[in-house]
Amino acid sequence: MRKLALSDDILMQVEKPARYIGNEVNSVVKDKEQVAIRFAMCFPDVYEIGMSHLGIQIIYSMLNEWDDVWCERVYSPWVDMDKIMRKNHIPLFGLESQEPVKTMDFLGITIQYEMCYTNILQVLDLAQIPLYAKDRGEEVPIVIGGGPCTYNPEPIADFFDLFYIGEGETQYRRLFDWYIENRDRGGTRRDFLRGAAKIPGIYVPQFYEEIYNEDGTIKGRKKLYDDIPDTILKEIVMDVTNAHYPSKPVVPFIKVTQDRVVLEIQRGCIRGCRFCQAGQLYRPVRERNVDKLKEYAVQMLRNTGHEEISLSSLSSSDYSRLDELLDFLIEDCGQRHINISLPSLRIDAFSLDVMSKVQDVKKSSLTFAPEAGSQRLRDVINKGLTEEVILKGAALAFEGGWTRVKLYFMLGLPTETEEDIKGIGDLSNKIAATFFDTVPKDKRVNGKVQIVTSTSFFIPKPFTAFQWAPMCTKEEFLEKAYQTKRGIMEQLNQKSIKYNWHEADLSVLEGVFARGDRKIAEVILEAYKRGCLFDSWSEYFHNDVWMECFENCGVDIGFYTTRERSDDEIFPWDFLDCGVTKEFLLREWKKAKTETVSPNCKVQCQGCGANRFGGGICYESRQIT
Amino acid sequence: MKIRIKFAKYGTMKFIGHLDMMRFFQKAIRRADIDIKYSEGFSPHQIMSFAAPLGVGIESYGEYMDIEVLSMASTQEVKDTLNQVMVEGVEVLSVTILPEHVRNAMASVAAAAYSIRMKDGRFPINDLEKKLQDFYNQNTIPYTKETKKSTVELDLKQGIYELRMEPDDVIYMLVNASSSGNIKPTMVLEKFCDFAGVEIPNEACQITRLETYTDLAENEEEQKFIPLAEVGTVA
Ligand code: SF4
């Protein structure tokens, strides 16, 4: 029987002890004497969130397939456990072996959103690993960062030994082989990092220095060694069909956010929404073969026993064999009493038909994401969804029996005016009116229509056309939310419309981290030391503390958020190359300002630069429309 | 066809709560590809009934659940396929076919047997056997049960059917586990500690449920406890 790292006494005191005991179905336990490399794979948030992440399941499964590697999982101990571990000096441990992370070779941290930065420090701290990479001795695990936030790693660069830029499937073997080689020949930590810096996709921040202009912008970068690269190109898997896929995902005992089989149907997105970072980072689009997907679906359902399956991709409606795949799943899963949870599909006759087969129309809701209230602004952001299409889709849906609609918008987009904001209320109203026009009184199932309109605040992200754009202040954001609210209140059908908006404080902070440089690290550390943790959980977010930390560190928030960047400004992330060129993004930024749309990759290539990877959509024949 | 599954839950699995164990078995039944019956509707669920819920931290060698299957090769095969998809700390002990018209596992629970031992060393009570006897020989054992809304006065004595020492410093008890008069072993332990004048925190003890019983007595005055597994047949 495995021995747990924590005593019964402690486990009985905390909420959900299952977060800390491991032993889940499909978790991998190996003989530590038989492996050369021990890897702790961490998602720096609570177990239920981290366990829901597909990327970790992929890497976990891939690494454990190698006989000489044992990969374990680590999550942020929840606040109750955090206190106990600190008080009793219990080192953070891997769930599988229950042994301290500090005894392992690597600690890999996936960084999915900016608001987990203090949790990264918590994980390092509880693991008893020095927070700054430069302070780490020979015996300390190598700390690796990966995931979307590493496309601007600079705010957290000081805390990592290296970043793995891009898709995880490609370079781990090479990194491990070099690690073993270096260890066998008695090389030091620094020797390892020097060699690692030459592996494609690997960025070792301590070998580079940022040089600033007097106004605080970046003048350039200096590297410590001549033989390491100036820019680092992202890693990418071109043959996604034959890439490793976790056919036996770990099945948690407790209910987690994604308590289901997740089938990743494609990577990338053909649509060039100008606010969307993922749409640029993961270019070009690469589809998985539909037969392979069917096979994976069956295998994963059998190996996990999950009662639900969902599809994952940035824009599932664009997957070319979607109808075939869904037909198969509806048939196969229906027989086995497995629910299909559909990602948000573009609303049309096809998707409505599919949805009516897999969910209870009366209880489910439809989702539209127009993102902006007016056609003008939708052209600016290149969101190719028109009012006509939305209203037509809504009318079809209402005829089909749906009565609930969710609408998502962003506030604070570049060039936004009061008119655009007013458009949010108008569009919500028109959808409500469509219901009353299409559904006769005696056929109204729940008697009424429910529209939930939500807005989030726009945050400019690196590697998007809007990376040059100024972000709003908190006050501006709130004023826009009030305007939206007033706009909705004025509508004829306002009783059918519910309005939600996000908190502005968190958005401002996210904005700083998103486009921050190395000067931000000090603020993050200071905030962590003053108790900030789980910032993405509103009940634990302390904006006042954060503001004091910026003040104390002399870091001006406006410099990172509200400042408009000149066309030729050097950004902290410019040394990374995600395939899409800066020239393309600048072109898109200028087109945005003239309200000019760009067709998607299937209609016409925009020459973004991602064709250099030599595959995917860039080399498929264009659709004739 | 209704079948009754008896299982054990021990080691690290004692930290998995009742609802999560139900979820665990729902998924296990799918992994084992058991031909279980589902409810109708958009979110069909398996027809399943668990006997008395087990508190977090307690181990058990007498857990039960009933399921309805449409077909199966044999009870042995169900047992084997399920055991192939278990995790360390959960083990299917037996599978039996339930006769028609037997009340489901949940409704038929009447009593449960428990053992309590100290995790480290022995109970810090002199003359333990005699003290336990004296405690049990009292005419009444009043207990104040606090619920969210009110406090209820109970007499534990009514529901303790057996209480004695076993070898190796283990306390054994057979208590009421029916939905109306359920007695938790910690309640008995708490009153006994008061009686013996000692304080033992719950975490210092390991409580194990040994068996769950149903009552086959014909009339209310008598009791005829038999393990839930012995109601059915093995085929
Ligand atoms: S190169 Fe053209 S087709 Fe390929 S991702 Fe870029 S815009 Fe799309």
Atom of ligand 1 nearest to the CA of A285: 5
Contact flag B56-A253 (C-beta cutoff 8 Å): no
Report the alpha-carbon distance of residue A130 to residue A479 in Å, rounded.
43
Q: Which residues line ligand 1 (CB under 6 A)?
A: A 283-284, 601, 605-608, 610-611, 617-618
How confident is the model over A511-527, as a mean pLDDT? 97
Please say whether the dihedral angle defined by the alpha carbons of residues A7, A13, A14 and A17, taken in this order, is positive or negative: positive
How confident is the model over B111-134, as a mean pLDDT? 94
A346 secondary structure, DSSP code: -
How confident is the model over A424-438, as a mean pLDDT? 94
Tell me which residue has its CA closest to atom 4 in ligand 1: A618
Report the alpha-carbon distance of residue A179 to residue A191 in Å, rounded.
10
Q: What per-residue confidence (pLDDT) applies to A146?
A: 97
Which residues lie below 8 Å from residue A287, measured CB to CB, with a gap of 6+?
Answer: A240, A265, A266, A319, A320, A321
How confident is the model over A305-318, as a mean pLDDT? 92
Query: CB of B156 within 8 A of CB of B139?
Result: no
Phi and psi angles of residue A539, each rounded to the nearest 5 degrees, phi first? -70, -15
Quote the ligand 1 centre to A281 CA distance (angstroms). Answer: 12
HSE, CB side, 13 Å, CA atoms: give it for residue A385: 23
Instruction: Classify domain A8-233 at the CATH class level.
Output: alpha beta
Hey, is A38 helix, strand or coil?
Answer: strand
Helix pair B18-31, A290-304: axis angle to 10 deg = 130
pLDDT(A625) > 70: no
Q: What per-residue confidence (pLDDT) applies to B234?
A: 67
Phi and psi angles of residue A515, each rounded to the nearest 5 degrees, phi first? -115, 25
pLDDT band at A9 (very low <50, low <70, confident <90, very high): very high
Query: CB of A461 within 8 A of CB of A507?
Result: no
**With 0-12 CB in 10 A as exposed, 13-18 as middle and 19+ as buried, what is A183?**
middle
Report the alpha-carbon distance of residue B173 to residue B164 in Å, rounded.
7
How confident is the model over B154-160, as a mean pLDDT? 93
Least confident range of A145-159, A433-447, A552-566: A433-447
Contact flag B44-A336 (C-beta cutoff 8 Å): no
Q: Which residue of A has its CA nearest to B31?
A: A305
Output the pTM of the full model: 0.94
Residue in A295, A297, A245 with CA at minimum distance from that of residue A267:
A245
CA-angle at A289, arms to A201 and B28, nearest 5° = 95
Q: What per-residue confidence (pLDDT) applies to A604?
A: 93
Report the alpha-carbon distance of residue A290 to residue B63 in Å, rounded.
43
* Segments of A417-536 assigned E as strands: 450-457, 497-501
Q: What per-residue confidence (pLDDT) applies to A445?
A: 65
Please say whether the dihedral angle defined by the alpha carbons of residues A82, A86, A88 and A91, taken in this order, is positive or negative: positive
Mean pLDDT of chain B: 92
Quote the ligand 1 centre to A616 CA distance (angstroms). Answer: 9
Q: Which tens digits make up the pLDDT trace of A12-46?
A: 999 999 999 999 999 999 999 999 999 999 999 99
Mean pLDDT of chain A: 94
CA-angle at A77, arms to A71 and A78, nearest 5° = 145
Please say whether the dihedral angle defined by the alpha carbons of residues A144, A145, A147 and A151, taken in this order, is positive or negative: negative
Instruction: Fill in the amino acid letter for A229.
Output: P
A91 secondary structure, DSSP code: P
Report the alpha-carbon distance of residue B171 to residue A417 in Å, rounded.
76
Query: What token pair was written down for A302?
Result: 């059998």
Q: Which residue of B has its CA nearest to A4?
A: B12
Query: What token pair was written down for A381?
Result: 């952001």
Task: Reduce the secondary structure of B45-73 to three states and give it as a string.
Answer: CECEEECCCCCCCCEEEEEEEEEEEEECC
Q: Which tens digits make up the pLDDT trace of B7-52?
A: 999 999 999 999 999 999 999 999 999 999 998 877 788 989 999 8
Report the alpha-carbon distance of residue A194 to residue A188 in Å, rounded.
10
- Closest Cβ–Cβ partner in A11, A18, A23 for B20: A18
pLDDT(A483) > 60: yes
Quote the ligand 1 centre to A617 CA distance (angstroms). Answer: 7
Atom of ligand 1 nearest to the CA of A611: 1
Query: CB of A268 within 8 A of CB of A601?
Result: no
Which residues lie below 8 Å from residue A450, measured CB to CB, with a gap of 6+?
Answer: A365, A403, A404, A405, A496, A498
Query: What token pair was written down for A273?
Result: 């929404």
B131 secondary structure, DSSP code: H
Q: What are the residue ranges spanned by the domains of chain A?
A: 8-233
* Segments of A176-258 assigned E as strands: 202-203, 208-212, 218-223, 232-233
Kindly list the residues from chain A whose CB atom is less than 8 angstroms away from the CB atom of residue B56.
Answer: 12, 17
Instruction: Fill in the amino acid letter for B69.
Output: V
A263 strand-pairing partners: A311
Other beta carbons within 10 Å of A238 = 14
pLDDT band at A1 (very low <50, low <70, confident <90, very high): low
Query: What token pair was written down for A172?
Result: 């781990």
Residue in A281, A382, A279 with CA at minimum distance from that of residue A593:
A382
Q: Which tens digits make up the pLDDT trace of A49-89?
A: 999 999 999 999 999 999 999 999 999 999 999 999 999 99
A284 secondary structure, DSSP code: S
Q: What per-residue confidence (pLDDT) applies to B233?
A: 72
- Closest Cβ–Cβ partner in A23, A306, A336 for B87: A23
Phi and psi angles of residue A378, each rounded to the nearest 5 degrees, phi first? -65, -30
Q: What per-residue confidence (pLDDT) applies to A349?
A: 86
Q: What per-residue confidence (pLDDT) applies to B222?
A: 85
- Closest Cβ–Cβ partner in A253, A304, A337 for B38: A337
Residue in A377, A370, A372, A413 with CA at minimum distance from that of residue A394:
A370
Decide which of 3.30.70.580, 3.30.450.90, 3.90.550.10, 3.40.50.2300 is the CATH code for B2-106.
3.30.70.580
Contact flag B30-A339 (C-beta cutoff 8 Å): no
Kindly list the residues from chain B whose CB atom is less than 8 angstroms away from the CB atom of residue A12.
Answer: 56-57, 202-203
Q: What per-residue confidence (pLDDT) applies to A344?
A: 74
Q: What are the residue ranges spanned by the domains of chain B?
A: 2-106, 108-228
pLDDT(A617) > 80: yes
pLDDT(A362) > 80: no
**In this prediction, what percent of chain A has a pLDDT beyond 70?**
99
Q: Cα B158 to the chain's mean position, in Å?
A: 19
- Closest Cβ–Cβ partner in A21, A307, A339 for B30: A307
pLDDT(B231) > 90: no
Other beta carbons within 10 Å of A595 = 15
| Strand B2-9 to B59-71 pairing | antiparallel
